[in-house]
Structure 1
Amino acid sequence: MRKIVLQMMTTLNGRLDDPLAWIGSVGDDQYRAIDRLYATYDTVLVGRVTYEEMASYWPGALSEDVGTETNRKMARRMHDYRKLVISRSGSQKLTAWNNVDEVVTPGDEALAAYLRDLKAQPGGDIHLSGGASLAQTVIGLGLVDTFHFFVFPVSSPGAAWFGELPDRYDLRLMGTDTYENGVVGLHYEPLERENAKRAGGFSELLV
């Protein structure tokens, strides 16, 4: 079965919005690592606002005169991917781009049913690209299979990945990486924890 993978840059305090407010630089070693992850996807799951940001940038990045070779490689991937734009109403026209489908899901139940069916179809993994509301909703529905966070050494006020979840959410660390610009890559899978209880004291945490 295909996986839904949330891969995002973030801050030490988990900020997910307005990346230009807190990203200092993206080193080439980090960018190559991101591109290796992108090679495992064939579909991007995205909200309307984030889609419009992508559609305004990536087609122009295909030019041989723009950016690095890694950036152009990613632009080609973004061009080829199937892009699924999740909308609650479908009332606003999308900017034209290659291989785009709008998916209208009026509520969380319809979204969950669509994503479960999507994961059961043949193909590569599915990149959950955002924005914040969509990412938080899919996390809350328990449908994210893998998390790849690129954590920048900065704290910045804003919306956090897990800030809207009503309950405890456990993760299993699957790997770590470090990059020349001080960014740390953290790779997780959700960990099901049944009947998790609050400890009565610190001594109960020691094993």
Structure 2
Amino acid sequence: MSGAGRKIVLQMMTTLDGRLDDPMAWLHGVSDDQYRDIDQIYAGFDTVLVGRTTYEEMAGYWPGAIAEGTETNRRMAHRMNAIKKLVFSRSGASPLTPWTNAEHIVVPTDSDLAKHLADLKARPGGAIHLSGGAGLAQSVVALGLVDEFRFFVYPTVSPGKSWFAKLPAGMDLQLLGSCAYENGVVGLHYAPRERTKEVRRDSFTDMLT
């Protein structure tokens, strides 16, 4: 797992089976109490890591959302416009849609991605939000560079890309906190922990004795 320094936090909405992609296929809304918690957590970030496709979606919405919606949405819009946005792509062939504090990072390989994130974590600063898309999230998780996971788990199952799909081996997590929201979503806060070698039991009943 990753070492000391700034933390990379994977914070995403997901399904019971860990789906991250195409949220419009399964996401049934964000309740006010959930949105307030998302905004509060976001106050601790000073950088967001995002893939190219998701960035373009964000750049098409947040700049014009400062005067729209609820107080929480307007506050989130101010945060999203001000925060440092690092946009990762494999080729860098197309320019980004202009947006405040956005930087295009070209990482042809996972080794390039790992080096850039390790260097970023070693610099002074606050927590780093690992956002979408699913491909970027899967790659960073598989590289062992995520320090905390914050999931907003929707009570639904939907086939798609899961956050753990590219893990080279299993992962054990330590629960740091949990909460439930009025829309049935459960917030789960985890940190990775070192896996311990245990003797495989012959049966489930052996674990109960």
* TM-score, normalized by the shorter chain, greater than 0.5: yes
Residue correspondences, number = 205
Distance in 1 separating the partners of 2:10 and 2:100: 22
State the TM-score, normalized to the length of structure 1: 0.95
In the TM superposition, what is the alpha-carbon distance from 1:201 to its structure 2 partner? 2.1
In the TM superposition, what is the alpha-carbon distance from 1:164 to its structure 2 partner? 2.5
> Which residue matches 1:104?
106
Taking only aligned residues, the RMSD between alpha carbons, in angstroms, comes to: 1.3
SS at match of 1:5: strand
State the TM-score, normalized to the length of structure 2: 0.94
Distance in 2 separating the partners of 1:130 and 1:205: 38
In the TM superposition, what is the alpha-carbon distance from 1:199 to its structure 2 partner? 3.5
In the TM superposition, what is the alpha-carbon distance from 1:170 to its structure 2 partner? 1.0
- Cα 1:21/1:193, change in 2 over 3 Å: same
- Cα 1:105/1:201, change in 2 over 3 Å: same
- Cα 1:184/1:95, change in 2 over 3 Å: same
Give, as a single letter, the amino acid of the residue that structure 2 aligns with 1:143. Answer: L
> Which residue matches 2:56?
52
Please show how residues 47-126 of structure 1 align to structure 2 within 5 Å: 47-63=51-67, 66-126=68-128
Unaligned runs of 5+ in 1: none
Q: Write out per-residue CA displacement over residues 3-62 of structure 1, whole angstroms, 9 at most, x where no aligned residue.
A: 000000011111111111111121110000000110000100011011011101111111
> Which residue matches 1:142?
144
Give, as a single letter, the amino acid of the residue that structure 1 aligns with 2:14. Answer: T
Distance in 2 separating the partners of 1:145 and 1:101: 23
SS at match of 2:131: strand
- Cα 1:89/1:70, change in 2 over 3 Å: same
Q: What percentage of residue pairs aligned between the two structures are identical?
A: 63
2:14 pairs with 1:10: yes
In the TM superposition, what is the alpha-carbon distance from 1:167 to its structure 2 partner? 1.3
